[in-house]
Amino acid sequence: MLQFEISLLPLLAIALANFLLSWLWYSPLLFMKPWARALGTYGKAEMTEEEKKAMPWLFASAAASSLLLSYGLQIVVHSIGATSFLGGLGVGVVAWAAFALTHSLNTLFEGRKPLVLAINNGLFLLSYAAFGGLVAVWN
């Protein structure tokens, strides 16, 4: 049976951590250059007006996505009964493989390059696994 009770502090903390980890992942410090090259957008001088107008929506959707990930992980990890970091990490890895990876692989039909999928799924795997482990031990 699914347990829909959540704890607010872990929900918000993990959502914020996921948002910040995602920002760092796609920053120049880590994977921005190879990711942007694979997408064909590297070296673009400036954003268009349309891209600038879309930024608030993109940040809002990223924040909502982080909250949903945190919420979903709490439900799944607690429903399964994982109580150790490794148990939660395992739940996160299975959730990533079953949901995030499978959906990402379907984007190959859109012409996405394998490097984009590898970079994106590296973040997804890290997020699901690490935050699944944190949810399991954070009561």
Three-class HEC string of 74-133:
HHHHHHHCCCCHHHHHHHHHHHHHHHHHHHHHHHHHHCCCHHHHHHHHHHHHHHHHHHHH
**Structure-model confidence comparison of residues 10 and 52, the more confident one:** 10
**pLDDT tens-digit map of 69-91:** 999 999 999 999 999 999 999 99
Residue 17 located in a structural domain: yes
pLDDT at 139 over 90: no
State the pLDDT confidence band at 39, using cuts at 50, 70 and 90: confident
Please check the confidence at residue 133 and state whether its pLDDT lies above 80. Answer: yes
Q: Is 56 domain-assigned? A: yes
CA nearest to 131, candidates 54, 67, 62, 53: 67
Residue 80 lies in a domain: yes
| 3 domain-assigned | no
Residue 61's alpha-carbon distances to 7, 54, 139, in angstroms, are 22, 11, 27
Measured between alpha carbons, how far is 51 from 81 in angstroms, rounded to an integer? 43
Average pLDDT over residues 115-121: 95
**With 90 as the cut, is the pLDDT of residue 94 above it?**
yes
Residue range of the domain that includes 49? 8-137
Instruction: State the pLDDT at residue 81.
Output: 96
Quick one: CA torsion of 110, 55, 92, 98, rounded to 10 degrees? -20
* Domains in the chain, number: 1
Q: What does the pLDDT read at residue 40? A: 82
Evaluate whether residue 1 is within a structural domain: no
Judge whether 44 lies within some domain.
Answer: yes
